[in-house]
Amino acid sequence: MQEEDIEFLEFCVRQGALKFGSFTLKSGRSSPYFFNAGAFSTGYATSMLSKFFAKKIANTLQPQSYDVVFGPAYKGIPLAVGTCSALYSEHQIGKEWCFNRKEAKTHGDAGVFVGAKIVDGVGVVMLDDVFTTGGAKEEAIEQLSSVAKVRLLGVFIMLDRMEKNEQGENAIAAFEKKHGTKVYSLASANGMFEALRGRKINGGVPVDEKVYAQFVEYRKKYGI
């Protein structure tokens, strides 16, 4: 794992976004760790996270290949806005941001989307916090596809949980095949536990041998 990847993980722990213990996920799975993008709620944290995302996108995609940075409601909203700002300030790449509403607005700026116009042929980069089974991404793609024929150039996430979907398939591989796109992550579950195992952060060791053993058991049950 590269030093910048470890820097990102330590940043997540220090900000309280990455926690270890026992957590029930949206999928119903009981996980030994939890990633909460809502913990990046300060100006500093938002700025740093946006820079991590912007660097990943700038190093992965050609600027001319996409038009819009899209963030699914709700956690994806500040990610899209902050990353657009960082793309411009850090990499001189000017893009529009967009996010969806949970329910369509019927007056004023009516519709389900806020920000950039979603029209046929627009190239979209989607941002989100984690990828477990891909349910939230599917919902967002369904909304986008309901108004236009968009080009999904990639999905960028903070953490790849490296898990199976409900059908027992590699969740990300199945998603990529279905939508003809790629999922890129700032970190992966396996890499995260290997990098943080025994590492002291903020005066403590978040991933001690007990936590690591719990992850190994979780990975046996749900991991790819």
What DSSP string describes 69-123? EEE-TTTHHHHHHHHHHHHHHHH----EEEEEEEEEE-SSS-EEEEES---TT-E
Could you state, in order of their start, the residue ranges of all structural domains in the chain? 3-103+110-213
Specify the DSSP element, H or E, that contains 94: none
Q: Tell me the β-bridge partners of 100.
A: 113
The SS3 call for residue 153 is strand
Find out whether 179 and 153 touch, Cβ atoms under 8 Å: no
User: Which member of 105, 149, 177, 221 is catalytic?
Assistant: 105
Q: What is the pLDDT along the chain (224 residues), one digit of tens a residue?
A: 677 788 999 999 999 999 998 898 877 888 999 988 889 999 999 999 999 999 999 999 999 999 999 999 888 899 999 999 999 999 999 999 999 876 655 444 546 899 999 999 999 999 998 887 777 788 889 999 999 999 999 999 998 888 887 788 888 998 999 999 999 999 999 999 999 999 999 889 999 999 999 999 999 999 88
- pLDDT recorded at residue 105: 52
For residue range 18-35, list pLDDT tens digits in order: 999 889 887 788 899 998
Read off the DSSP letter of residue 197: B
Cα atoms in the 13 Å half-sphere on the side-chain side of 32: 22
Q: Give 3-103+110-213's CATH code, choosing from 3.30.465.10, 3.40.50.2020, 3.30.70.20, 3.40.50.2300.
A: 3.40.50.2020
Q: Is 179 a catalytic residue?
A: no
What DSSP string describes 166-220? TTSSBHHHHHHHHHT--EEEEEEHHHHHHHHBT--BTTB-SB-HHHHHHHHHHHH
Q: Is 55 a catalytic residue?
A: no
The number of residues in the chain equals: 224
- pLDDT recorded at residue 110: 46
